[in-house]
Amino acid sequence: MKPSMGERVYLVGVYSVLTIVGLLCLLPLMHIASISTSSLQAVSAGRVTLFPVEMTFAAYTQLFENSPVVSAFNNSVAITLVGVVLSMGFTILAAYPLTRAYFLGRRLFMMGIVFTMLFNGGLIPTYLTIRNLELINTYWALWLPGLVSVFNMLVLRTFIENIPGEIDEASRMDGCGEWRYLLQVVLPLSMPVIATLALFYGVGYWNSFFSVLMYINEPDKYNIAVLVQQLIQSQMMLAQMNGLESSEQLNLSPDMVNSAAIIIMVLPLLFVYPLLQKYFVRGVMIGAVKG
């Protein structure tokens, strides 16, 4: 069937709106990347839009030489890697038993867990609990309180529930125990969901800011997020107080340093994102259909 005139106009509209929306998501990032690699003169004159003008990496060398960026970056990597392994392990341990029909008290535990999604003790009691456990200034304070995300757990549970019961029966016949069934049958089959959830946990830990601000007081334990935040705020104050005198000598402006810091924080995400994108769309949909 040949599309009518009206339909053609309609489709052109759809495609152009989506193109604009897509570009809107990309352009700010390009702008920031260009600012971080343009010369001071070009940035202050406002000549930088989407591509670097008079390219230089001064802002990056400055960041890597004179600040704790490198160690904060390493801290972030450590927090993320350990956090993902811990969270994923515990999410699996929570989701799998809840799919077993013969697990006594299953409904009760389920209700108890979902309730924590709707109601919580609040910030202050949580903080005091962590403090009483003497976890302040340790990364355990970052890993433990958010160890299992109920939502992620529900997604994984739904997926495991949909594994055909015949597979279960067959492996039992062959003498497969509970652990072996989980490790050698359920987990390999759940790889797409596990990859998705690992990405979500990973991004969460990489971006963690508030918990670090709350529980970590020693600056050398800060992660990259807190460091970038402090940088942005101090640069803002610097710009207000004494013009740009001190950084002018370095051929840098606060905007350039901020932008470079932002890019440093974004880059790892940009590397992982394309690898896992095909999984997370499916993963989220599994959770969504169940609701």
Residues 83-102, interacting with other proteins (CB under 8 A): 90, 93-94, 96-97
Show contacts with other proteins in window 147-186 (CB under 8 A): 147-148, 178-179
Contact window for other proteins (CB under 8 A) among 56-64, 75-83, 167-175, 271-279: 271-279
Show contacts with other proteins in window 36-65 (CB under 8 A): 43-46, 48-49
Backbone angles phi, psi at 186, to 5 degrees: -65, -50
* Selected binder of other proteins within 53, 82, 136, 144 (CB under 8 A): 144
* Selected binder of other proteins within 138, 171, 229, 251 (CB under 8 A): 229
Could you identify the residue written with the tokens 């993963």? Answer: 283
Q: Which is nearer to other proteins, 136 or 189 (CB)?
A: 136
Residue 181 and residue 166: Cα distance in Å, rounded?
A: 13
* 275 touches other proteins (CB under 8 A): no
Q: How far is the CB of 248 from other proteins (least distance, A)?
A: 13
Do 47 and 255 form a contact (C-beta atoms < 8 A)?
no
* 122 touches other proteins (CB under 8 A): yes
Show contacts with other proteins in window 11-30 (CB under 8 A): 11, 14-15, 17-19, 21-26, 28-29
Residue 16 and residue 103: Cα distance in Å, rounded?
A: 53
| CA distances from residue 41 to 54, 190, 232, 254 in whole angstroms, order as listed | 9, 53, 21, 13
* 75 touches other proteins (CB under 8 A): no
* Selected binder of other proteins within 51, 54, 57, 103 (CB under 8 A): 103
Q: How far is the CB of 253 from other proteins (least distance, A)?
A: 8
Contact window for other proteins (CB under 8 A) among 55-63, 71-79, 118-126, 185-193: 118-126
Burial code (b: 16+ CB inside 10 Å, e: under 16) for 179-192 equals eebbeebbeebbeb
Residue 117 and residue 275: Cα distance in Å, rounded?
A: 30
Residue-wise DSSP of 43-82? HHTT--SSS-SS---HHHHHHHHHSTHHHHHHHHHHHHHH
